[in-house]
Amino acid sequence: MRMILVGPPGAGKGTQAARLVETFKIPHISSGDMLRAAVKEGTPLGLEADRFMKAGQLVPDEVVIGMILERIKKVDCAKGFMLDGFPRTRPQAEALDKAMKEAGVALDSVVVIDVPDALLEERAVGRRTDPVTGTIYHLKYNPPPAEVADRLVHRKDDTSEAVTTRIQKYHSETAPIVPFYEQQKILKRVDGVGNPDEITKRLVAALS
Ligand code: AMP
């Protein structure tokens, strides 16, 4: 299965992707995780991406497109993959489409996780990640156990200001990819309001 998870910041893409890849046995490819790893390692790509990410802006298309197209050529993606956070602009969607056509493969599904803007800021600002296990917690809705609390990371772009910019960018830059996939008849929408287990069930039903 080759699929894409789309949703605004705080929609639960990362949490749900981690669960879905267990069910569907495909690699989880998160452009945000790859960029954060590059920033941490201080690679040239990371150095370029860092200033955009801190401000909640999108990293330029040419940087992200090259990174993802290289990644999906790897052998672990031969039978499928789940993209999370890519494509995020119409040129990214078109570049992915072209590369997949050239490779003779096609997307099976693009799933949009819908969450109203009013809920997103609180979800993103309260988010904390465990750098050891990659588990995503929320201080109020999914509190971390005491033994991991001291090591949790608060993303630099999960501040109220950066989240507001990221939500605006989602509407102006990412929403235009929806009609692109609607035309291809592979778009599905899932209600992202509720507890994570319920939302996983909705996603699995939409994908199965
Ligand atoms: P995420 O972890 O998906 O929320 O992404 C965190 C940040 O990484 C975004 O706010 C952007 O700055 C950058 N980023 C991730 N994926 C992309 C993408 N496909 N295009 C441009 N920037 C991206």
- Tens-place pLDDT, residues 51-67: 999 999 999 999 999 99
Task: Note the pLDDT of residue 2.
Answer: 97
> Which of 127, 128, 169, 202 is an active site residue?
127
Cβ density class 135-171: b for 16+ within 10 Å, e for less:
bbbbeeeeebeeeeeeebeebebbbeebbbbbbebbe
Which pairing describes strands 81-84 and 2-6: parallel, antiparallel, or unpaired?
parallel
Kindly state the helix (H) or strand (E) to which residue 181 belongs, with its residue range: helix 177-183
Q: Is 151 a catalytic residue?
A: no
Give the CA distances from residue 71 to residues 96, 106, 134, in Å, rounded to whole numbers and listed in that order.
12, 16, 20
Per-residue pLDDT tens over the stretch 138-181: 999 899 999 999 999 998 889 999 999 999 999 999 999 999 99
The pair of three-digit structure tokens given for residue 12, joined into one six-digit string: 């639960």
Listed in order, the ranges of the chain carrying CATH 3.40.50.300 are 2-26+79-207
Sort 205 into a burial class: Cβ within 10 Å, 0-12 / 13-18 / 19+.
Answer: exposed
Q: Is 88 a catalytic residue?
A: yes
pTM: 0.92
Q: Which atom of ligand 1 is nearest to the CA of 31?
A: 16
Alpha carbon distance 56, 58 (integer Å): 7
Is there a contact between 26 and 80 (Cβ–Cβ < 8 Å)?
yes
Given 3.40.50.300, 3.30.465.10, 3.40.47.10, 3.30.1300.10, which CATH number is that of 2-26+79-207? 3.40.50.300
Task: Note the pLDDT of residue 185.
Answer: 96
Q: Is 90 a catalytic residue?
A: no
Task: Note the pLDDT of residue 155.
Answer: 87
Cβ 5 under 6 angstroms from ligand 1: no
CA of 30 to the centre of ligand 1 (A): 9
CA of 56 to the centre of ligand 1 (A): 8
Q: What is the mean pLDDT of residues 18-26?
A: 93
Task: Note the pLDDT of residue 36.
Answer: 94
The pair of three-digit structure tokens given for residue 88, joined into one six-digit string: 């995020």
The pLDDT of residue 28 is above 90: yes
Phi then psi for residue 184, to 5 deg, are -80, 0
Per-residue pLDDT tens over the stretch 70-88: 999 999 999 999 999 999 9
Alpha carbon distance 197, 73 (integer Å): 32
Task: Note the pLDDT of residue 156.
Answer: 87
Give the CA distances from residue 22 to residues 18, 28, 67, 131, 191, in Å, rounded to whole numbers and listed in that order.
7, 9, 24, 20, 21
Phi then psi for residue 9, to 5 deg, are -60, 130
The pLDDT of residue 198 is above 90: yes
Q: Is 189 a catalytic residue?
A: no
The pLDDT of residue 208 is above 90: no
Q: Which atom of ligand 1 is nearest to the CA of 52?
A: 12
Q: Is 51 a catalytic residue?
A: no
CA of 96 to the centre of ligand 1 (A): 16
